[in-house]
A and B are shown apart, each in its own frame.
Chain A
Amino acid sequence: TQLLEQSPQFLSIQEGENLTVYCNSSSVFSSLQWYRQEPGEGPVLLVTVVTGGEVKKLKRLTFQFGDARKDSSLHITAAQPGDTGLYLCAGVTNSNSGYALNFGKGTSLLVTP
């Protein structure tokens, strides 16, 4: 069972366009992380959002955490070929049985020149 649903699954755009990737769940998370994974590599953390309604900006990337801490979005402005990769969101749950990082299946982004 996938706790986090990401959409779209695939996205192919041209350089300079804007895009938004969504990460939705019916579960509440203590925090949510966004990663980017390139072929042959492991995921690399981009940002962690903790507070409901929080907005974080990382150059051309804007991350938002939903008010209810169940969903998040990633907006990229003026996409560049270097943004190509698999974008993964991961919700952190921390219960009596321990910690777990629950990943969505990812959005595969291709930015062409």
Chain B
Amino acid sequence: KAGVTQTPRYLIKTRGQQVTLSCSPISGHRSVSWYQQTPGQGLQFLFEYFSETQRNKGNFPGRFSGRQFSNSRSEMNVSTLELGDSALYLCASSLHSQGQGNTEAFFGQGTRLTVV
């Protein structure tokens, strides 16, 4: 079956702009989580969506937001981009919510965002 698909793979934006990233989970998976990966901070949890509801949110400013659609596809939006937002943004899909036992998370290849 197809894996987790993230689009676009690469993106260059200017400070102050906003950006929307997309994630299509594995068919049948209802949970989508988003992470930011940087060399300095590593992988940091942004938020998790399950059945169109945000279940948990990491310690990121309100400029970072997301949503999930009825087909489980998810989007992540970052407004008023800052240079420090340059990172690899990864999404992971799971069959169940991660809170339900040890559900395996399947990661996409990520979107490499560069803010100039």
Contact = CB atoms under 8 A, between A and B. Distances in A.
A63 to B, nearest CB: 13
Given A2-B42, A42-B110, A94-B99, A100 B58 contact: yes
Interface residues of B, number: 26
A101 B35 CA distance: 10
Interface stretch (A13-21, A66-74, A103-111): A103-111
B93 to A, nearest CB: 11
B41 A99 contact: no
Nearest to A49: B102
Query: What does DSSP make chain A's interface, helix, strand, loop or mixed?
Result: strand
A85 interface: no
Given A45-B105, A98-B99, A99-B98, A105 B42 contact: yes
B75 interface: no
Contacts of B17: none
B76 interface: no
Given A88-B42, A101-B33, A106-B43, 12 more contacts: A40-B109, A42-B92, A42-B109, A43-B43, A43-B90, A44-B107, A94-B98, A98-B48, A98-B57, A99-B99, A103-B43, A103-B44
Interface of A: 2, 31, 33, 40-45, 48, 50, 88, 90, 92, 94, 97-106
24 contacts: A33-B102, A42-B4, A42-B110, A43-B90, A43-B107, A45-B104, A50-B102, A88-B42, A92-B102, A94-B98, A94-B99, A98-B55, A98-B56, A98-B57, A98-B99, A99-B48, A99-B99, A100-B48, A101-B45, A102-B45, A103-B35, A103-B44, A105-B41, A105-B42
